[in-house]
A = this chain, B = another copy of it.
Amino acid sequence: MSEAFQVLAEPARRQILDLLRERPRLVGELTERLGLPQPSTSKHLKALREAGLVRVGRDGTRRWYRLCPEPLRAVEQWLAPYRRMWAGSFEALERHLDAMPDEPDDPPAKERT
């Protein structure tokens, strides 16, 4: 999940995902839309590929990139307990928020209790 967050930290990559949300696109198309040089686009796409956020299909010399939203699930899961904070009452936060169900959490570093 750490990888997903890292990859999403880059605005251009979020923009790529947003574009792919509509439909699969070619690298050239993305390049044009992003206003980036083509190598930069390819490198961002590589990062997205390695994070499993996009998949690529070949068609001759062209590459169709399509969205693969699955890894975003982990992000959403991390976000979930926070979302319920603003979803419900806001003052529960100010006091002692007690109603906290156990979420499958992924502490990325070592924890010593």
Contact = CB atoms under 8 A, between A and B. Distances in A.
Interface string A1-31: 0100110110110110110011110000000
Copies per assembly: 2
Contacts of A69: 82, 85-86, 93
B108 A57 contact: no
Interface residues of A, number: 54
A11 B100 contact: no
Contact of A57 (B14, B82, B101): B101
A111 B56 contact: no
A35 interface: yes
B66 A100 contact: yes
A108 B103 CA distance: 33
